[in-house]
Amino acid sequence: MAERITAENFESNVVGNSLPVLVDFYSDSCVACKKISPVLADYEEEHEGSIAVYKVNTGYDTELSEKYGVQANPTLILFVNGEEKARNVGALSPMALDKFVEGGLNS
């Protein structure tokens, strides 16, 4: 399961990561967030070692939500070398998540 990170360790885990990083901005009360959680867990397990997956709780880490312009949950942002490469708002199926990440990596 994706590790929850905060503003305190976001830079080291995301911006400073040598791997591509998928960040799930979520809230505990969001139904779509609960729907995508197992999809992300499976994705993380299947791609271990080639991509890092983290979660940011928008209810607690408003600073990060504001910094990255997150206005709805869930918002997935793919970072490569600390740069945003792709963004998706809403839950995704496993196939759609694969396409989203592949598209971001190839952009």
User: Which residues does the annotation mark as catalytic?
Assistant: 30, 33
Residues 6+ apart with CB under 8 A from 42: 94
> Got the DSSP string for 5-22?
--HHHHIIIIIT-SS-EE
Determine how many CB atoms are found less than 10 A away from the CB of residue 1. 11
Backbone φ and ψ for 83, nearest 5 degrees, come out as -105, 140
- Helix residue ranges, H only, the chain: 7-10, 31-46, 62-67, 94-105
